[in-house]
Amino acid sequence: MKVNVEVDCTPQEARQFFGLPDVQPMQNAVMEKLQQQLTSNIEKVAPEALMQSWFDPKIAERFQDMFVTMAGLGGTRSSDKKSGDKK
């Protein structure tokens, strides 16, 4: 035996029928907060903001320090090692 039951109702009516809570206010609050965060992040990746961060006057100095450290040249000087050995 095969029985088909078709119920035509809205999601809100189905939640009320089964006694489920109405989560619409919470969903609205979460979506509003998410929209605010996305909007603020979009401003950070605007072309003008990217250009300013890429061409920061101190960026060349930071790259130089990074490469010196990576190359192992940022360690102590040989004259510092010699004076440390005498102590």
Return the domain boundaries, the chain: 27-86
Give the largest CA-CA distance in the chain. 99
Token code pair at residue 20: 């489920």
Mean pLDDT of the chain: 80
Is the model's pLDDT at 3 over the cut of 90? yes
Q: Where are the alpha helices (DSSP H) in the chain?
A: 11-18, 24-44, 47-54, 59-71, 78-86
Residue type, 4: N
User: What is residue 87's predicted lDDT score, i.e. its pLDDT?
Assistant: 47
pLDDT > 70 fraction of the chain, expressed in percent and rounded: 83
State the pTM of this model: 0.41
Given a cut of 80, is residue 11 above it in pLDDT?
A: yes
Position with higher pLDDT, 4 vs 45: 4
Average pLDDT over residues 28-36: 95
- Per-residue pLDDT tens for 72-85? 765 555 555 555 55
